[in-house]
Chain A
Amino acid sequence: MNQKEAVIELQGLNKFYDKFQALKDVDLTVKSGERMVICGPSGSGKSTLIRCVNRLEEHSSGRLTVNGFELDENTKNIREIRQNVGMVFQQFNLFPHLTVLENLTIGPKRVRKMSNDEAEKLARKYLDRVHIPEQADKYPAQLSGGQQQRVAIARSLCMEPEILLFDEPTSALDPEMINEVLDVMVELAESGITMVCVTHEMGFARKVADTMVFMEDGEIVETAPPEKFFTNPDSDRCRAFLDQILDH
């Protein structure tokens, strides 16, 4: 576990929405197998940051490299890069007109050009992994929120990506369903995949994170290993934020 290479690299990244600057000169490196948790107040640019990584948003300036490929407007192999970067959304974004199984197999079939049988086998493997093998033939609307989010995780896993991005995966869930999703994420973290998680679930962060990142107003304010981050952060703003969310 020593010669870990950087799989995501941001250098002086800026992102503008018209005149509004959502990311300000952001530098960040994520190493292979690293588990990074990003937190920060609402509107601080966390979603914008991870959405730039699979180019759902285009950054305005600066350099962004994923798996050694630089992302810019000339990037031809953006689809290839996206296959390697899974994304789990706050709102699940399952395909409502497809069954759970079809949600999982469409990527492998259309993008990875697998046969029906192969894709289905793969899908069932990952449904097992998220502990809902029995829901394969249902439609998303027939599942609970927690189950839907686990299907969404399985859908990402079916592309067998090297990097998984999570954008507040438990924020849209009822409290009693949060743990079933976090449990799956902890298991994933233990599997060695590179993870970048935007979340305010600090229990989860303590358990799995190698690196904690705190963002505010489009800037990265603090980057630290969890021991230091939770006990003795450098920045007062980070400390205030942690006090606030850990306090209730």
Chain B
Amino acid sequence: MIMKALLKLKTGDYVLLALIVAFILFVAYRVEGALNYNWNWAPIPNYLIRWDEDEQRFVTNFLLEGMFTTLRVCFYASIMALVFGTLLGLARVAKNLAIRMLARTYLEMLRNVPPLVILFIFYFFLSEQLVDAFGIERWARKIARSETAEYWSFFFGDMRKFPALISGAFVLALFESAFVGEIIRAGIQSVGKGQREAALSIGLSWFDQMRYIVLPQAFKKVLPPLANEFISLIKVSAIISLISVPELTFRTQELASATRLIFEAWLTTAALYFVICFGLSYLFRKLENRSAVA
């Protein structure tokens, strides 16, 4: 694909490309000269994967572990957001005015307050209390010390960080549910009125109408925008580094301050985010085209 695009370039395009490359080199040179920065890329691969002497095998390190935590958090957050969002979408088209108004209020609050502020409000006022109330912290620490720790950590990473992970996922889900809810509302409304009427006329209950007739058609229609929301969630998820969830951004901060490899660490992390997000959007587009053909 890229090769084909390159072949199509004209002379003018080459000049432009050359200028861009020159500019990047210039910036890199200035960073080195003006900031007196010594580029040192050599240690970076080690922070992705390192050789474990004890176990005699390669293990993921810092940055890759952070990336996996990011993916885990986003995965759980998306599932929760899908559940909340579906409820919200249904509430938005409810017959009952009170339900519609509640849904609208929830939505407007989440949409008009910065995610970061929602994060802090939720984390400091609610999360700590909930985590305490359910004894999650104690439970997680117990697991971390138990035999099955490895099994659990496949799903949740380091179990000692579990409370933060769950809080992070939950607050992302809350934030994301507003967007998912609107997408699903649009999906529900795109299903023709005749479908509801046909379902009514054979006597299906409201729940069955939604479960079997409306939502399946709605989800099919909104799968592409939902996939895009997942990708944007991965980017937004960087904010939960502020509540010490050991995800990619948090780990990069740690690494940058411990090693002073500031530019290298952040550029590597940028590349990781890019690869995930671009890769996923490429994949989703492929799948979408495939299902459009089928």
Contact = CB atoms under 8 A, between A and B. Distances in A.
Given A97-B217, A97-B220, A79 B205 contact: yes
Contact of B201 (A54, A80, A91, A97): A54
Contact of A95 (B200, B201, B203, B213): B213
Q: Of residues B197, B202, B213, B220, which shows the largest number of chain A Cβ atoms within 10 Å of its Cβ?
A: B202
B197 A106 contact: no
A184 B163 CA distance: 65
A132 B194 CA distance: 23
A93 B195 contact: yes
A56 B205 contact: no
Interface stretch (A82-90, A123-131, A193-201): A82-90
Interface in B174-208: 192, 194-195, 197-205, 208
A156 B202 contact: yes
A159 interface: yes
B216 interface: yes
A89 B216 contact: no
A87 B201 contact: yes
Nearest to B205: A79
Chain B's interface: helix, strand, loop or mixed, by majority?
Answer: helix
Given A80-B203, A82-B202, A156-B202, A106 B194 contact: no
A79 B155 CA distance: 45
Contacts of A54: 200-201
Interface string B192-234: 1011011111111100100011001100100000000000000
A110 B198 contact: no
Interface residues of B, number: 18
A139 to B, nearest CB: 12
A107 B202 contact: yes
Contact of B202 (A91, A97, A106): A106
Contacts of A41: none
Contacts of B213: 95, 106
Given A97-B216, A97-B217, A110-B208, A159 B202 contact: yes
B164 to A, nearest CB: 41
Contact of B203 (A93, A94, A111): A111
A111 B197 CA distance: 15
Contacts of B203: 79-80, 82-83, 107, 111, 159
Contacts, number: 63
Interface in A66-104: 79-80, 82-83, 85-87, 89, 91, 93-97
A96 B217 contact: yes
Contact of B198 (A85, A89, A97, A158): A89
Given A96-B217, A97-B217, A111 B194 contact: no
B194 A83 contact: no
A15 interface: no
Nearest to B206: A79
Contacts of A59: none
A155 interface: yes
B201 A82 contact: yes
Given A95-B213, A96-B217, A56 B197 contact: yes
Contacts of B197: 56, 87, 89, 93
Nearest to B216: A97
A106 B204 contact: yes
Contacts of A91: 194
A152 B213 CA distance: 15
A110 B203 CA distance: 9
B201 A111 contact: no
Contact of A56 (B195, B200, B202, B220): B200
Nearest to A111: B203
Contacts of B194: 89, 91, 93
A105 to B, nearest CB: 11
B204 A111 contact: yes
Contacts of B208: 110-111
Interface in A51-69: 54, 56
Contacts of B205: 79, 110-111
A111 B195 contact: no
A156 B199 CA distance: 10
A82 B202 CA distance: 6
19 contacts: A82-B201, A82-B203, A86-B202, A87-B198, A87-B201, A89-B194, A89-B198, A93-B194, A93-B198, A97-B217, A106-B212, A106-B213, A110-B204, A111-B202, A111-B203, A111-B205, A152-B198, A156-B202, A159-B202
Interface of B: 192, 194-195, 197-205, 208, 212-213, 216-217, 220
Interface of A: 54, 56, 79-80, 82-83, 85-87, 89, 91, 93-97, 106-107, 110-111, 152, 155-156, 158-159
Complex A-B, nearest 4 residue pairs according to Cβ-Cβ distance, in ascending order: A93-B198, A107-B202, A93-B194, A87-B201
